[in-house]
Structure 1
Amino acid sequence: MDELDQKIIRLLIKNARMPVKEIAENVNLTSPAVSSRIRKLEQEGIIGGYTVILHHPGEAARVQALISISANAASRDDFLALVESEPQVLQCWRVTGSYNFIVKVSCESIDGLEHLLTKMQKMGSTNTQIILNTQTDRPLMI
């Protein structure tokens, strides 16, 4: 991947729907040359896909939290099944340290968060931080 590929990727990160013609103008290449580079980056797995980021209606009123959980070995499969089945779960990471998973959730209310926590606490000890606001949220840059 050379510097031109990196410029193309940065433009696509800013706007994944940017027309190839506009990208070509920004990187001083022809449209077919840019299309070829994008296709190659996709085939090599460097570009893994394009996405739309949705926000929940009334998102400001939702309760977002990070739940750290030390899921015991006997309930780990049940915990992962719970995470997959709960629509409030946005992300789940396997981590090192005192806890073995961190789960990001978005619940309609404190009661909804408490209900989800009760389910998780049956599978291990938890520690919860409610997200007050997002100071920085940037995409992965190359």
Structure 2
Amino acid sequence: MESLDRVDQRILALLQEDGRLTGAEIGRRVGLSQPAASARILRMERAGVIAGYRAVVDPAAVGLNIRAVIRLRTTHAQLSAAMHLAAQTADVTSTLRVTGEDCLIFDVHCVDAARLERVVDSLARFGPVTTALVLREYPCKPLTPAASPAP
């Protein structure tokens, strides 16, 4: 997609703050008509800049009281199997493949410590794991598109 101008960037920031804003409200906030704002949003959706919309669920409100980050150090031969297991484990909510000593980092939400233990043990068959309990999550900053190179 061609570079995003400041209006596109403002629209992205607004949608990251509240994905339920209407085209009319976004247009009002950025100084465009509703059709013009909606056309920009559609263009960014079609280009893959806006990848989707979703509800953000409070884990504690649905009984998932323990959150942990699990780091796994494994071999290249075991990597695919470990990622497959993580994909099949409902408690694993995201997986990152990383460089460094660890190979994979899993974000895990569990109902209790016993369930966390089972998740850790299932991943540990692929190599050493390190587990850290999450005490608090701080708000994420919205993504800001990379600046276009100067002409």
C-alpha distance in structure 1 between counterparts of 2:24 and 2:5, whole Å: 20
Question: Match for 1:62 among 62, 65, 77?
Answer: 65
The residue number in structure 2 matching 1:90 is 93
Question: Match for 2:30 among 27, 32, 52?
Answer: 27
Structure 1 residue 56 displacement after superposition: 3.0
The residue number in structure 1 matching 2:19 is 16
Number of aligned pairs? 141
Question: Match for 1:124 among 122, 127, 143?
Answer: 127
C-alpha distance in structure 1 between counterparts of 2:100 and 2:139, whole Å: 24
C-alpha distance in structure 1 between counterparts of 2:62 and 2:136, whole Å: 11
Structure-2 change in CA distance of 1:60 and 1:138 (3 Å) = farther
Question: Match for 1:141 among 132, 140, 143?
Answer: 143
Q: List alignment gaps of at least 5 residues for structure 1.
A: none
Contact map agreement 1:94 1:101 (CA 8 A) in 2: yes
Runs (4+) off by over 4 Å: none
Contact map agreement 1:69 1:101 (CA 8 A) in 2: yes
Contact map agreement 2:63 2:111 (CA 8 A) in 1: no
C-alpha distance in structure 1 between counterparts of 2:35 and 2:77, whole Å: 55
Deviations, residues 3-48 of structure 1 (Å, cap 9, x unaligned)? 1111111111111111111111111111111111111111211111
Q: TM-score, normalised by structure 1?
A: 0.90
The residue number in structure 1 matching 2:113 is 110
Contact map agreement 1:13 1:139 (CA 8 A) in 2: no
Q: List alignment gaps of at least 5 residues for structure 2.
A: 145-151
Contact map agreement 1:79 1:123 (CA 8 A) in 2: yes
Aligned Cα RMSD in Å?
A: 1.6
Contact map agreement 1:90 1:106 (CA 8 A) in 2: yes
Q: TM-score, normalised by structure 2?
A: 0.85
The residue number in structure 1 matching 2:77 is 74
C-alpha distance in structure 1 between counterparts of 2:60 and 2:101, whole Å: 35
Contact map agreement 1:65 1:104 (CA 8 A) in 2: yes
